[in-house]
Structure 1
Amino acid sequence: MIKDLPENIVKDIAVAVALEGETVESKTWYVYIINLKNQPIENVLITSKGYGEKDGEQVKTSVLRHSIPLIEANAFKLIEPIDEQTFGLANEYWVSYYIGREIFDKKFIFMPESIVDANFIKLPLVNKPGVMIL
């Protein structure tokens, strides 16, 4: 039964939106997964999608799927570029991974308008400004 399944709690894994570069015309943004653990994670599967309301209408982006075979301890990997126009939507990243034979999963959601300068930190390991969810 479900009550018999172990409660594998995700710790020390983050998803971050980082400002990569800036010109007069535009900004370049990337989404990263950051492994803050002292051990690697394997078979990382990530789905991403955006949803919400824009100009009074419901909007959904395509669901994208990403696979990363291994993320070393205290390392990060690029998930995808992200368009600034989606910052007004909820941007969801569902992350699943293995440590040994145990599976872990967690949903990370950047709420609408949460990717703003006021929420910027210096992202650990990535060393760029951005917004991170642990």
Structure 2
Amino acid sequence: MKKDLPENNVKDIAIAVALESETAESKVWYVYLINLKNEPIENVLITSKGYGEKDGEQVKTSVLRHMIPVVDSKAYKLIEPIDEQTFGLNNEFWLSYYIGKDIFDKKFIFLPESIVEMNFIRIPVLNKPGVMIK
């Protein structure tokens, strides 16, 4: 039963949307997983999807799945590129990983219009401008 499972809280893990490059015509954005822990995480599974309302209609993107064998301590891994057209949707990233034999999971949601310049920070470890959820 669910009540019998240990409560493993996710700490020192972040998902970030970072501005990779910019030209007069376009901007290139990537989504990263950042491990701020002092230990590696293993068997990382991430599912991503976008959903919400655009122009008065309900919109859903495809669900993408990513597997990363190991993310070292104080390191990052590229999850996927992200299109600016999805910034008006909820962008959800569901993360599961192991530390030893313990499993951890957390859902990260970038709300519509949260990926905007006024919310930018210098993302730790990655050292790029963007928006991060911890």
Cross-structure match for 1:89 = 89
Q: Match for 1:60: what amino acid?
A: K
Residue 11 (structure 1) aligns with: 11
Counterpart position of 1:74: 74
Identity %: 79
Matched, 1:101 2:101: yes
Q: How does 1:1-134 map to 2 (within 5 A)?
A: 1-134=1-134
* Displacement of 1:5: 1.1
What SS class does the counterpart of residue 86 from structure 2 fall into? helix
Gaps of 5+ in 2: none
Number of residue equivalences: 134
Secondary structure of the residue aligned to 2:3 is helix
Provide Cα deviations, 1:74-125, integer angstroms capped at 9, x if missing partner. Answer: 0000000000000000000000000000000000000000000010000000
CA distance in 1, matches of 2:52, 2:2: 31
Taking the aligned partners of 1:52 and 1:122, their CA distance within structure 2 comes to 28
- Structure 1, unaligned stretches of length 5 or more? none
What is the TM-score with the length of structure 1 in the denominator? 0.99
Q: Aligned-pair distance for 1:16?
A: 0.2
Task: Supply the AA of the counterpart residue of 1:29.
Answer: W
Partners of 2:2 and 2:27 in 1: CA distance: 45
- Partners of 1:106 and 1:69 in 2: CA distance: 18
Give the Cα–Cα distance (whole angstroms) in 2 for the partners of residues 73 and 37 of structure 1. 5
Cα distance between partner residues in 2 of 1:22 and 1:2: 46
Return structure 1 stretches of 4+ with deviation > 6 angstroms.
none
For 1:14, what is the secondary structure of its paired residue?
A: strand
Superposition TM-score, scaled by structure 2 size: 0.99
